[in-house]
Amino acid sequence: MITKIALLQINAGETVFENFEIAKTHIEKAAQNGADIALLPELWNVGYTSPDEYVFGRDTWGKSAFFVGDSEFVKYQELAKEVGIAILLPFLEKNTQGNFYNSATLIDYTGEVILHYQKVHTVDKAWEILFTSGENFPVVDLKTKKGMAKVGCMICYDREFPESARILMLNGAEIILVPNACVLDSNRLTQFQSRGFENMLGVAMTNYPKPKFNGKSCAFDGMRVKGEDYNPLVVMADEEEGIWYANFDIDILRAYREKEIWGNAYRKPRLYGKLTEDNIHQPFVRKDARR
């Protein structure tokens, strides 16, 4: 079974209304090209713009936030159902208590919301201090027209922490979808490959193109196969705007996970207690860090 993911490396406009129309054009094209999932970049509804940078000011930035089920959010649900494609929608979320989240929701091809993720590792040294951090890494069964895949989500800075992908693997993920918004250098790109390899799963990431950031949206299949011609890189975009496609063969991935040594095969959790200790020592003390 092939799961085809469209990496929508596109620039946002100035309003949530304009951003829906931009997304709609590209999502329709992805569906026409047989994609099962359309993956947008981080905080798509506001184009990963801080409240101070937002063209219409801080108040409008806050009013641009979605919540699951509101009228602007429902447009994406209706679009998914209309064109028959799952959409990973990253967005600025505001709850009824007034808390902001950096969120991503997976809408399946019938328009149903099946996964809601709130970014756990917010960048607390920057304007993302405005966000309340999420508390879990959910994994769901995503039904496509071709079959079923177990899917989870990370957002951008989550990739810096191996624990994020590890928990998703332990929760059953076969593919991790990653909305992103930053300049990607070789170290950061390698992190996506490493998260896939060490957990034996596929990783697909979409970033903003230039001039916002530098593109390089990519996907890695997470497998190590003997042979000189093998490359875990599924696709790597350039810096320009466009759609790139990543195909994951879920059957081959599942067979590989049943026999190879990574993932959860030979871990020794009884020795890892220090990983869950909630304390910190120099040189890693940061006054702005939230635990």
> Has residue 291 got a pLDDT over 90?
no
The rounded distance, in Å, linking the Cα atoms of 101 and 111 is 22
pLDDT of the residue at 287: 83
Q: For residue range 68-118, list pLDDT tens digits in order.
A: 999 999 999 999 999 999 999 999 999 999 999 999 999 999 999 999 999
Residue 203 reports pLDDT greater than 80: yes
Whole-prediction pTM value? 0.96
33 located within any domain: yes
Q: Are 47 and 212 in contact (CB under 8 A)?
A: yes
Domain membership of residue 284 (yes or no) is: no
Q: What is the pLDDT of residues 206-263, one digit of tens each?
A: 999 999 999 999 999 988 776 656 678 999 999 999 999 999 999 999 999 999 999 9
Helix axis angle, 16-32 relative to 71-83, nearest 10°? 10
| Strands, E assignment, 23-153 | 37-39, 86-94, 100-107, 113-118, 139-143, 148-153
Q: Is residue 103 one of the residues assigned to a domain?
A: yes
Read off the pLDDT of each residue in 121-129 and give the average, rounded to a whole number. Answer: 90
Query: How confident is the model at residue 91, as a pLDDT?
Result: 98
Q: Is residue 282 part of a domain?
A: no
12 contacts 47 by C-beta, under 8 angstroms: yes
What contacts 165, CB < 8 A, 6 or more positions away? 154, 159, 176, 195, 196, 198, 199, 201, 203
Task: With respect to residue 75, please indicate whether it lies within any of the assigned structural domains.
Answer: yes
CB burial readout 127-152, b (16+ within 10 A) else e: ebebbbebeebbbbebbbeeeebbbb
Assign 133 to helix, strand or coil.
coil
* Cα-Cα-Cα-Cα dihedral sign, residues 165, 2, 90, 215: positive
> Is 291 a domain residue?
no
- Within a domain: 112: yes
Domains in the chain: how many in total?
A: 1
At 136, which CATH number?
3.60.110.10
* Spatial contact of 162 and 183, defined as CB atoms under 8 Å apart: no
On whether residue 132 sits in a domain, the answer given is yes
Q: Which domain holds residue 21?
A: 2-276
